[in-house]
Amino acid sequence: MKPTLLIVDDDDEIRTQMKWALAQDYEILQAGDRAEAVEKFRTAHPAVVLLDLGLPPNPATPEEGLATLSELLAVDPLAKIVIISGQGEKTNALQAIGAGAYDFLGKPVEMVDLKLLLKRCFHVAQLEREYREMQGRLQSDAFDGILGTSTPMQVVFDTIRKVATVDAPVLILGESGTGKEMTARAIHNRSARKSGPFVAINCSAIPETLIESELFGHEKGAFTGAHVQRKGRIEGASGGTLFLDEVGEIPLPIQVKLLRFLQERCIERVGGRQEIPVDTRVVAATNADLKKGMLDGSFREDLFYRLAVVQIALPALRNREGDILFLAQSFLQQFASESGKAGLSFAPEAQRAIQRHDWPGNVRELQNRVRRAVIMGGEKRLSAQDLELTNATSSNRIGSTLKEAREALERELLQQALRKHNNKITAAATELGISRPTFYELMEKLGINKSGPERE
C-alpha cells in the first residue's frame, strides 16, 4: 500500500497540481480549511501533511495555518507537518518550526525538492513507527532496560538467555558505557538465583589495602580498626550473584584468593582460619585487555580462564547499526515523560547529528546528553545545540594555522582516550603511545580537565 499524504491548501488548483505530481507515490487526501483538515487527519492518521499557512477565513495571514498546525500536532505529536505557503517570510517559517512543524517550503515549490523532503519525512516516520512497535514487543521480553534491535545486540540477548540458565562464571567485555552492569543484572534476573541478592563492586574504586577485606570480610581484631567481625561482598552475595566490575584492577595477591574461591567455593576472612563455604555466582566485567595483562604479568592466566567460562562482548554504540536513533528516541520518551514534557521530539537536524556523532562514551553518553537536553531544551523540539552536538565549521574547529590544527587534533585524541578509559591516565597514555608525564604535560598545555575522578 502507498503511504497516505494529506494536502491542506485553500487553492483547488494547487491541490490538484500536487495530487497529479505525487499520486504515483502516495495516497492523496485533500482539505481546504482547518475543520476539514482536522477531520481527515483524525480519520486517516497520515504520517505526513503538507500544510498551507494561508487558510480561510484569513488567507492573507498565517494565523489560521498555525492554528491548524497546533490542532494536528495535538492529535498526533509525531506527525511530520511540512509548511508550504506563499507567506514565505522568515518570521513565519521560524514561528511554524517553533510550533512543531517538521520543515518549511515557500511557494512556488520546486517539485524535486518537495519529493526529496517527502521521502525523508516518510522515512523518519517509518523509523519512529517501527521503534514504537519494537518497544511494545520488548516490554514482554525486556532485558532490565537494555534495548537494541541491531544484529550485535540480538546476539548478546541470545547469549544472556542461554547463560542465565547455568551457573558458570561469565566475563563481560566492552568499552565504558556499553552496559556491562545492566547485562550482569539481566543474567541474574533470568537465572534461578533471581530471588537472591545481586551485589556489585567496582574493583577500581576500592584502595588496594581495603579490597581484600571488602571482598572476603574480616574477623574482629584482624587489623587496626577491625572492631567487629564483618562479612565481605562474596558472602553477602550468597545465594545470588556477585558482579565484579573492572576485575582487571584486582591486585595479584587478591587474584590468588579469588581463584581459590572459584575453584573450591570456600573463603577465609581476613584474620580468620576457618573455611567458609559460600554459594555465590561470579559475573565479572572489564574494559581492559586482560590478555595483554596476562602477557605483562598483571593478571593471572588461570584466573582469566576461571572467570571467562562464558564471554559476552558488548558492542560499542557506533557499531550498533540502527540502534542509535532507536535508543535516543527511547530515552527522550522516558525523560520527557518524567519532566512533564510529553510530545517532545528531536528536530531533523538533531536526528542527523545523533547519527553522525561517534559516541565515544557509548550508551551512557547518549543517555546523559538526552537527559540534559530534555531538562535544558525547548518544549516542542530538541535541537542539535540542545544535545551539544553542533559541529563548528571545519576552519573554526581545525584552526587556520598548522600549530592550531595540531593542537586541535591532540586535544581531540586526548579527550577521546580519557573518555574511553574512564579517566585512567595510564591506560589513556598507553593507548596513545606516550608516557604518563607527557600525557599530563599535554593536558596542561591544551587546557584539558578530566570530566571525573582519575581512576588508576
Domain ranges of the chain: 4-136, 167-313, 317-382, 394-446
Q: Which fold has domain 4-136?
A: Rossmann fold (3.40.50)
Percent of the chain with pLDDT over 90: 48
| Domains 4-136 and 394-446 fall in the same CATH topology | no
259 three-class SS = helix
| Bond from prior residue into 315 cis (ω within 30 degrees of 0) | no
User: Which of 117-131, 149-163, 180-194, 228-242 is predicted least confidently?
Assistant: 117-131
The answer to whether residue 94 scores a pLDDT higher than 80 is no
Dist. CA 134–CA 128, nearest whole Å: 10
Beta strand extents in 118-220 (DSSP E only): 170-173, 198-202
Cα→Cα distances 186→178, 308, 369, 390, Å: 14, 18, 24, 35
Residues 6+ apart with CB under 8 A from 27: 1, 2, 3, 4, 5
b/e sequence 355-393, b meaning 16+ C-beta within 10 Å: eebebbbbbbbbbebbbebbeebeebbbbbebbebeeee
Residue bearing cell 563481560: 172
pTM here is 0.59
- What is the Cα–Cα distance from 359 to 177, expressed in whole angstroms? 10
CATH 1.10.4080.10 assigned to 317-382: no
What confidence tier does 9 reach under pLDDT thresholds 50, 70, 90?
very high
* Mean pLDDT of the 152-162 span: 92
Q: What is the pLDDT of residues 218-230, one digit of tens each?
A: 888 767 777 787 8
Q: What is the CATH number of domain 394-446?
A: 1.10.10
Condensed to tens digits (0 to 9), the pLDDT of residues 179-207 reads 999 999 999 999 999 999 999 999 988 88
How far apart are alpha carbons 147 and 426 in whole angstroms?
33
Q: Give, in degrees to the nearest 5, the angle at Cα 48 between 42 and 49.
A: 75
CATH for 167-313 is: 3.40.50.300
